Amino acid sequence: MRVRSGSKAWLAGPAAALAVCLLGACSREQPPGPARSDEEPQQISRGFTTTETDSGIVRYVVKARIARFYSGDITRAEDIQVDFYDRGQKVSVLRAREGTIDGEGRLRADGHVVVTSVEGGVLETETLYWDRQRRKIRTDGAFKITDKGDVLTGVGLTTGPNLDLIEVDKDVQGTMSEHGKEAGER
């Protein structure tokens, strides 16, 4: 893996992602966070599942151990799993301690968030947002991506749910394993 500071790009070979450092790549509009202490749920559901679609196409499926429904069309869930889809195919699975979904389909995951792509890449962070309009996931905090022994870290990230093209805001660093090098790059 190479980190080039002049062009601010990270290349990890053809099988790994390309990360480009850009500021403000994705919408910063975020769904509501955790409930206030004085807020009471209107309904509680165990074994919760919901599907987000756009024009009949599944974008994600959320499963949670427990979900609490609040006024203002806000759902807060615990022990969540989110299966992300692209063109009808599952591309990744997100797991987190809790999540929030609003009536506009905006999703926020909090607490040891791990996204695993079907190709094996793993993203770890503390908070992650789904930008419904751009069909991207975003974190403003520190993150780590591991893919076939290669590691990329930084602060602020925007990517597709399949972890394909990665845009990093700042402090990007990376290492490439011997396994991840392209032929002839020794």
What's the rounded Cα separation, in Å, for the pair 134 and 94? 18
Classify domain 2-23+41-175 at the CATH superfamily level.
Lipopolysaccharide (LPS) transport protein A like domain (2.60.450.10)
What's the rounded Cα separation, in Å, for the pair 171 and 153? 8
* Degrees, nearest 5: CA angle 110-111-113: 80
- Bridge partners, 9 (sequence order): 4, 20
Q: What is the mean pLDDT of residues 135-150?
A: 93
Q: What is the pLDDT of residues 62-100, one digit of tens each?
A: 999 999 999 888 999 999 999 999 888 999 999 999 999
For 166, counting Cβ atoms within 10 Å of its Cβ (0-12 exposed, 13-18 middle, 19+ buried), the class is buried
- 47 torsion bin: left (phi>0), alpha (psi -120 to 50), beta (else): left
pLDDT at 55: 87
Report, in angstroms and rounded to the nearest whole number, the Rg of the chain calculated over CA atoms: 17
The answer to whether the CB of 67 falls within 8 A of the CB of 76 is yes
pLDDT at 89: 92
Does residue 37 or residue 167 have the better pLDDT? 167
Q: pLDDT class for 182, splitting at 50, 70, 90?
A: very low
